[in-house]
Amino acid sequence: MSSLNKSSFSKILFSYFPTLILFLSVFNEHDFNYLKIEYFSFNFVYILIFYWTLRSPNQLGYISIFLAGIINDVIMGLPIGISSLCYLLICSVTAYIRNITLIYNFINDWISILFTLLLINSIQILILDLIFNYNLDYLSYLINSGFTFLLYPLFYLIFNYLDQKILLQPND
Amino acid sequence: MASGRDDFVIAFRSAILKKKDKQRFSLLTLLFLSIFVLILSSFNLKIINYIKFGINEVVYRSSYLISIPENKIQKIKHQLSTHLEIYNKYQDIKSELNILKEEKLTNDFLKLENKKLRNLIKESVSSKEILAKVLIDKESPFLKSIVLNKGSKDNVKIGMAIMDGSYLIGKIIEINYTNSRALLLSDLNSKIPVMLLPDRIQAVISGTGENHGIIEYTKEKLDNEINEKDRIIYTSGIAGLFKSGIPVGRMFKKSNGRIDFFSKFTQLEYVKIVSFDLESVK
């Protein structure tokens, strides 16, 4: 009985893993986006959303992504709705890629994330700078996009492993 | 060519309109919802502000609770590293204390003299202090701000100064019922009127997004002069928000206007929210 419970608990935990990590990373003070290393920052949430909505869209709901964006804006002090918009734009790109792709290819994903990052960071800068008059450091955004792109393969391997684990959960 | 464009339109339309098995809303609905929220949040209407306060209260408290384990680990790490450096620090502090004791005597005299002079021009500065705990200190490469556990119910108001001991570190920019957000001096959007001593040069300093500031504005003729010697930066009190003479940071000569703040913004745990009133002595 206990093993049965344990198995179903781990099953639930694994199936909600992407959502849990998404909310932990936006709620937690420790920012994956900023590791306090000069000239090094990457956006973990972008990678997480890009991978899971592209490869395993059923594991990460759009509503969760929308809410995570709202929470991120509140914590970061950004205009509410801007992160949700950016996160959902990533989902739009991944949904489009899923529609036009028959066989998944890592290189295609990798190039697509670069295009997506440049697109959403440009949109974010345009909104913050032109509409909300925020002073922004463009170089930080560029560095952030660069490292997010470079680190995608590493997280791809980790998430791929976890995705396999979720898919291979034994049936009771 | 036309067929290629049609394929793109069909694939894109299907991507944003089609709902997956576990998705309750289509992407298009949520995209419109986030744009709607973004537009609403930019309006300064009473009802929207109340909703915003509510969301802020819940999110800040939740974030504080979720960050407790990580903060504990960081605290232990910090304590361990300070314990290892304790002997060297003790030696430094001992010699520094002797110098400070000497300086205190001069300072006491200057304080009395200052009070006497203020009385002569019939002016006094009173201040109210509220001690606040830092709830969220989420650093970002783009924005530098902290969330404090005191809000409108504790009479916190927009523009009040945030101080770490006697050093200025920022000002209040957003208030909720039980908490508030302070913009740190290191943020790109922070602009503070200051005075560069010893020559009493007026300037405006701005944050850089890093843990230091920069002199953004002085009179043209003084641009070269300010880099000629080491300087201590104090608030000038010109904007009327802060009193003059609050220490902000230090500028070394030939540093091209770079200011190293006295306070370490990464180590903030408790801060003071201070309001200053310039009163006339009756």
Question: Does B209 contact A at CB distance below 8 Å?
Answer: yes
Of the pLDDT bands very low, low, confident and very high (cuts 50, 70, 90), residue A50 is very high
B144 and B253 fall within a common domain: yes
Count how many domains chain B has: 3
Residue that is written with structure tokens 């306070």 in the block: B263
Asked if residue B8 belongs to a domain, the reply is no
CB contact under 8 A, A96 and B63: no
Q: How far is CA A135 from the centre of its chain?
A: 25
pLDDT digits (tens, 9 = 90+) for A89-140: 999 888 888 888 777 788 888 888 998 999 999 998 898 888 888 877 788 8
CATH number at residue A134: 1.10.1760
Give the pair of three-digit tokens for residue A16: 């909600």
Of the pLDDT bands very low, low, confident and very high (cuts 50, 70, 90), residue A172 is very low
B59 and B76 fall within a common domain: no
Asked if residue B11 belongs to a domain, the reply is no
Query: What is residue B272's predicted lDDT score, i.e. its pLDDT?
Result: 87
In chain B, residues 40-59 whose CB comes closer than 8 Å to chain A: 40-42, 52, 55-56, 59
Q: Which of B31, B138, B266 sits opposite A31 (nearest CB)?
A: B138
Give the pair of three-digit tokens for residue A88: 């959902």
B98 and B236 fall within a common domain: no
Q: Which of B21, B22, B52 sits opposite A80 (nearest CB)?
A: B52
Count how many domains chain A has: 1
CB contact under 8 A, A75 and B63: yes
Asked if residue B132 belongs to a domain, the reply is yes
What range defines the domain where residue B140 resides? 128-282
B138 and B202 fall within a common domain: yes
Contact between residue A110 and residue A153 where contact means Cβ atoms under 8 Å apart:
yes
Of the pLDDT bands very low, low, confident and very high (cuts 50, 70, 90), residue A150 is very high
B199 and B210 fall within a common domain: yes
B84 and B216 fall within a common domain: no
B158 and B218 fall within a common domain: yes
Asked if residue A70 belongs to a domain, the reply is yes
Amino acid B232 reads I
CB contact under 8 A, A137 and B7: no
B153 and B269 fall within a common domain: yes
Say which DSSP state A78 is in: P
pLDDT at A170 over 60: no
Q: What angle do CA B198, B195, B116 make, to 5 degrees?
A: 75
B143 and B107 fall within a common domain: no
CA distance A97 to chain B (A): 9
CA distance B218 to chain A (A): 20
CB contact under 8 A, B139 and A34: yes
Asked if residue A87 belongs to a domain, the reply is yes
CB contact under 8 A, A135 and B188: yes
Query: What is residue B19's predicted lDDT score, i.e. its pLDDT?
Result: 65
Asked if residue B85 belongs to a domain, the reply is yes
Asked if residue A172 belongs to a domain, the reply is no
Low-confidence ranges of chain B (pLDDT < 50): 1, 281-282
Asked if residue A145 belongs to a domain, the reply is yes
Closest-CA residue in chain A for B181? A77
Chain length of chain B? 282
Contact between residue A124 and residue A33 where contact means Cβ atoms under 8 Å apart:
no
B151 and B73 fall within a common domain: no
Query: How many C-beta atoms surround the C-beta of residue B47 within 10 A?
Result: 9
CB contact under 8 A, B142 and A140: yes
Question: Does A69 contact B at CB distance below 8 Å?
Answer: yes
B270 and B136 fall within a common domain: yes
Nearest Cα residue to B115 out of B129, B104, B126:
B126
What range defines the domain where residue A58 resides? 2-167
Of the pLDDT bands very low, low, confident and very high (cuts 50, 70, 90), residue A1 is very low
Q: What is the DSSP pairing of strand B124-136 with strand B270-279?
A: antiparallel
Question: Does A96 contact B at CB distance below 8 Å?
Answer: yes
DSSP 3-state of A77: coil
Question: Does B257 contact A at CB distance below 8 Å?
Answer: no
B106 and B202 fall within a common domain: no
- Chain B residues touching A99 at Cβ < 8 A: 11-12, 14-15
Contact between residue A30 and residue A48 where contact means Cβ atoms under 8 Å apart:
no
Contact between residue B186 and residue B65 where contact means Cβ atoms under 8 Å apart:
no
Question: Does B191 contact A at CB distance below 8 Å?
Answer: no
CB contact under 8 A, A57 and B23: yes
Nearest Cα residue to B202 out of B175, B239, B166, B168:
B239
- Chain A residues touching B16 at Cβ < 8 A: 92, 95
Nearest Cα residue to B169 out of B279, B269, B47:
B269
Measuring CA to CA, how many Å separate A59 from each of A5, A62, B78, B149, B225?
21, 10, 38, 36, 61
pLDDT digits (tens, 9 = 90+) for B217-240: 776 666 667 777 788 888 887 777
CB contact under 8 A, A141 and B16: no
CB contact under 8 A, A31 and B140: yes
Question: Does B114 contact A at CB distance below 8 Å?
Answer: no
Query: What is the Cα–Cα distance from B161 to B45, expressed in whole angstroms?
Result: 26
CA distance B168 to chain A (A): 21
CB contact under 8 A, B141 and A140: yes
Asked if residue B253 belongs to a domain, the reply is yes
Among candidate residues B121, B151, B185, the one where a domain is terminated: B121
> Per-residue pLDDT averaged across A135-163, rounded?
87
CB contact under 8 A, A30 and B70: yes
